[in-house]
Amino acid sequence: QVQLVQSGAEVKKPGASVKVSCKASGYTFTSYDINWVRQATGQGLEWMGWMNPNSGNTGYAQKFQGRVTMTRNTSISTAYMELSSLRSEDTAVYYCAEGAADGAFDIWGQGTMVTVSS
Amino acid sequence: EIVLTQSPGTLSLSPGERATLSCRASQSVSSSYLAWYQQKPGQAPRLLIYGASSRATGIPDRFSGSGSGTDFTLTISRLEPEDFAVYYCQQYGSSLAFGQGTKVEIK
């Protein structure tokens, strides 16, 4: 079945970087944009940006410009989100999501918990 | 940047009642690129409605979406026990943004 499987939980120190992976299966990876959304504990959903897996083109939310990089490896149907200069406020669950429903996110990864702590 | 404001923040209802959730945009949402998601604790969000009124695959028909321009509504005709959750609207026509969420809790 169509699914996105993300990498495991991460613990990082302030100032470090984290790279989260999102492996797609059950559909043609290059067909739909991959988006990244994060959610701090008890808070709402925050969109970070999108990537077209076919072209590699990206678009980032202004808040994350200069700190986030979204890439992909089409040979293994995997998307990546790297966030640098981490601070405690970046502690959150990070989700990848595929925009196959006319651009809306119909398939989500299981989430990756990233904890930033000294 | 389009800002989405959801109301109310919390809705306290009993099973079997009708739930009406509102999502208002600061600017017109192009081509009704408005979606609704349901999220339960510890789970990823689930797409319910896209294109303002189209139900996603497998979503029961007690969920319906309506609206255009800047005002959108999610209606749950008769609440089932599994419907108590947090609901988010999202616009994906001009950049992308989520509303802050409405919690539907058991009264």
- As a whole-number percent, the residues of chain B with pLDDT over 90 amount to 93
Q: Cis bond leading into A53, ω under 30°?
A: no
Residue in chain A nearest B9 by alpha carbon: A44
Q: What is the mean pLDDT of chain B?
A: 96
Q: Where are the beta strands (DSSP E) in B19-92?
A: 19-25, 34-39, 46-50, 54-55, 63-68, 71-76, 86-91
The SS3 of residue B16 is coil
CB-based contact (8 Å) between B59 and chain A?
no
d(CA A72, CA A80): 6
pLDDT of residue A95 exceeding 80: yes
CA dihedral (B50, B55, B60, B64) positive or negative: positive
pLDDT band at B95 (very low <50, low <70, confident <90, very high): confident
Instruction: Please report the pLDDT score of residue B31 as a whole number.
Output: 73
Chain B nearest C-alpha distance from A95 (Å): 8
pLDDT band at A102 (very low <50, low <70, confident <90, very high): confident
Mean pLDDT throughout B54-71? 96
Q: What is the mean pLDDT of chain A?
A: 96
Tens of pLDDT, residues A66-92: 999 999 999 999 999 999 999 999 999
SS (H, E, C) A27-70: CCHHHCCEEEEEECCCCCCEEEEEECCCCCCEEECHHHCCCEEE
Tens of pLDDT, residues B71-93: 999 999 999 999 999 999 999 98
- Pick among A105, A106, A110 to test the B interface (most B CBs inside 10 A): A105
d(CA B74, CA A14): 40
**Cβ atoms of B16 and B101 closer than 8 Å:** no
- Pick among A102, A107, A113 to test the B interface (most B CBs inside 10 A): A102
pLDDT of residue A100 exceeding 90: no
Instruction: Please report the pLDDT score of residue B32 as a whole number.
Output: 81
B44: nearest CB among A46, A104, A110:
A110
The SS3 of residue A90 is helix
How many degrees, rounded to 5, is the angle at CA A82 between CA A25 and CA A78? 15
Instruction: Please report the pLDDT score of residue B22 as a whole number.
Output: 98
Tens of pLDDT, residues A8-63: 999 999 999 999 999 999 999 999 999 999 999 999 999 999 999 999 999 999 99
